[in-house]
Amino acid sequence: MADASTPPAGRIRVAVIGGGRNCEHAVSLASAASVRAALDPAAYDVLALTIGPDGRWHRGDGSGRPLGVTPVASLAAAVALLGDCDVVFPVVHGPHGEDGSLAALLDLAGLPYVGAGVRGGALAMDKWATKLVAADLGLAVAPGRLLTAASAPGLRPEQFPVVVKPVAAGSSHGVGLVRAAEELGPALAEALALDSRVLVEDFVTGREIDLAVLERPDGSLLVGPPLEIAVGEGGLFDTEQKYGGGARFLLPAALAEQERKELEEAALALFTALGCRGVARFDFFLTAGGPVLNEVNTMPGMTSESQVPKMFASVGLPYPALLDQLVRGALVGSDQR
């Protein structure tokens, strides 16, 4: 395979996978379409693959016929197509994708790919496991309880508000801010509809600050500028705020030097401890007592207007160059693993 300075002869054949069998399907379609359009056609020959909501794979954007009648038949056909590729860019957010599922498939197939491996994807997708890792690193996390459908009815929070969220879901699906006891049951039911485990956390008052860490082809790590999410009415960066235009991004976030340093050190420590690769986004609350980790995304939104591309574009790494760094980093990393 190639090294950081010598790409393979001719154009690199890259498969971009989007979609997915989860609640983030539509978001992933947008990310994958944006990545395909932005990869330099002089350097890359792009194969589009899409996983439908029913688990069947398609060639293209998912609008045509699947590659097979059943998920397993379509997967077999997709693997045959992947075999002709140099590298894979999986832009599948959430369960059955970002959680290590696709990484495991690609590892078994011996294909280099952008993003976290099985361990990193699985750990970071599990918000409870991420909290345990963060706490072991000495980082603050919101106090919370892990519940299932069996244990949830017995929950009696000592104080409100609390935040209810699925353990493994993204794009803020199933996340609810509960201000009173009568709101708790419906919020738990909504979260449990997406996952068999839910977290109920104390509400953290603080500024919402995101940082992204990029692993460059030479193995060095670059922390992008901090981005602050100014949330509108409601106080929670939920799905409606995220995609309905109710929140504003302040880039770079106005931080004191010590605040910025603490956040950067926390993001770098988590990137390493969780086993992240490529790029990951780390979401914090900045409180009067310092940073509190919210969650980690190992395959964050990747349209040109998403948070991570905006962060790096603001410091001179435009979107196509960011994608190029990720693809070439995956090729180099495959030689080192």
All domains in the chain, ordered by first residue:
12-114 (3.40.50.20), 123-141+205-336 (3.30.470.20), 144-202 (3.30.1490.20)
- Answer whether 53's CB lies under 8 Å from 38's CB: no
- Answer whether 193's CB lies under 8 Å from 167's CB: no
* CA 184 – CA 206 distance, rounded (Å): 23
Amino acid at 290: G
**Can you give the pTM of this predicted structure?**
0.90
Q: Which three-class secondary structure string do you get for 45-77?
A: EEEEEEECCCCCEEECCCCCCECCCCHHHHHHH
- Residue 239: the pLDDT is 44
Token couple for 205: 């008052």
Separation of CA 105 from chain center: 18
Question: Residue 291's closest CA among 120, 162, 137, 158?
Answer: 137
- Answer whether 312's CB lies under 8 Å from 212's CB: yes
- Residue 231: the pLDDT is 76
- Answer whether 337's CB lies under 8 Å from 53's CB: no
Token couple for 42: 């002089």
* CA 325 – CA 305 distance, rounded (Å): 18
| Cα separations in angstroms, 123 against 127, 154, 214, 242, 330 | 8, 27, 18, 24, 20
* CA 234 – CA 314 distance, rounded (Å): 29
The H-or-E segment that residue 158 falls in is none
- Residue 293: the pLDDT is 97
- Residue 7: the pLDDT is 45
| Cα separations in angstroms, 263 against 228, 236, 266, 313 | 12, 21, 5, 20
| Cα separations in angstroms, 243 against 134, 152, 239 | 28, 29, 6
- Residue 335: the pLDDT is 53
Q: Which residues pair with 177 in a beta bridge?
A: 163
Amino acid at 256: A
| Cα separations in angstroms, 199 against 100, 119, 177, 235, 293 | 21, 21, 12, 18, 14
SS3 102: helix
List, for the chain, all residue ranges whose pLDDT scores fall below the cut of 50: 1-7, 237-239, 241-244
What's the chain's length in residues?
A: 337
Judged on CB neighbours under 10 Å (0-12, 13-18, 19+), 327 is: buried
- Residue 204: the pLDDT is 94
- Residue 117: the pLDDT is 96
* CA 21 – CA 55 distance, rounded (Å): 5
The H-or-E segment that residue 160 falls in is none
Judged on CB neighbours under 10 Å (0-12, 13-18, 19+), 239 is: middle
Separation of CA 185 from chain center: 28
Question: Residue 273's closest CA among 128, 137, 140?
Answer: 137
